[in-house]
């Protein structure tokens, strides 16, 4: 089994490098490498430029992932280098997020005062992390599980749930961090030093 970790998991749950190290080791023992997409790395980098607690968390996690990429335990998947993943991502964005690229829609958001010009322009990047996870998992739903704290609502379309759509169409599985912890017995494995746990 392989797990794809969304940006929100790092910011809200895996908030310390030492916890990330423990999880990476746990992944290796129960299943496979620790997987993350290059888009999520970009999101972490953007968040790291914010001078608050989330920015500090993002830069610490980003550095660990970057430094250990390709060293047997962590793998950063580059979407654009895989033709199938890249096509899947484009289809997802076109089919469900086209409104975030529409000039008239963005103009109306600015005119209404809901968003500034800068905020409206950045909407095209919203939900990209989870979309890249979907682009991969939809090809191997039996092998990949997405771990995300997001509930799958599409930006500006709260009644459209991207996770539920792909759960139905492609049998995608999405767990939040607590479910992942429970299913893989991560916390329990930390408490008892005997880590001979195999994922089922």
Measured CA to CA in angstroms, residue 191 lies from 79, 186, 188 at distances of 37, 9, 5
pLDDT at 22 over 80: yes
Q: For residues 137 and 135, give the distance between their C-alpha atoms in angstroms, rounded to a whole number.
A: 6
Q: For residues 190 and 169, give the distance between their C-alpha atoms in angstroms, rounded to a whole number.
A: 36
Report, as an integer, the average pLDDT of 180-196: 74
Say if strands 144-147 and 2-5 run parallel, antiparallel, or are unpaired: parallel
Q: State the average pLDDT for the chain.
A: 90
- Binning pLDDT at 50, 70 and 90, where does residue 59 land? very high
- Residue 57 has a pLDDT of 92
Residue length of the chain: 200
Rounded (to 5) percent helix, strand, coil in the chain = 60, 15, 30
pTM of the model as a whole: 0.88
pLDDT at 174 over 60: yes
Of 10, 24, 42, 3, which is closest to residue 150 (Cα–Cα)? 10
Residue 95 CB contacts under 8 Å (≥ 6 apart), including other chains: none
Q: For residue range 103-151, what is the model confidence (pLDDT) as tens digits?
A: 999 999 999 999 999 999 889 999 999 999 999 999 999 999 999 999 8
């Amino acid at each position: 089994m392989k797990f794809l970790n969304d940006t929100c998991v790092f910011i809200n749950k895996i908030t310390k490098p030492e916890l990330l190290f423990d999880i990476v080791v746990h992944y290796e023992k129960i299943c496979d490498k620790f997987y993350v997409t290059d888009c999520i790395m970009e999101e972490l980098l953007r968040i790291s430029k914010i001078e608050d607690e989330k920015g500090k968390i993002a830069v610490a996690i980003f550095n660990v992932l970057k430094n250990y990429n390709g060293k047997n335990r962590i793998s950063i998947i580059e979407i654009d280098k895989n033709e199938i993943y890249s096509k899947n991502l484009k289809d997802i964005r076109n089919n469900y997020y086209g409104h975030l690229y529409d000039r008239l829609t963005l103009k109306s958001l600015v005119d209404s005062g809901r968003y500034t010009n800068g905020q409206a322009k950045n909407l095209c990047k919203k939900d990209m992390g989870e979309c890249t996870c979907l682009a991969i998992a939809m090809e191997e739903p039996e092998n990949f599980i997405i771990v995300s704290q997001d509930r799958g609502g599409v930006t500006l379309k709260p009644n459209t749930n991207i996770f539920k759509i792909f759960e139905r169409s492609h049998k995608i599985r999405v767990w939040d961090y607590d479910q992942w912890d429970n299913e893989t017995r991560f916390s329990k494995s930390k408490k008892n030093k005997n880590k001979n746990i195999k994922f089922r």
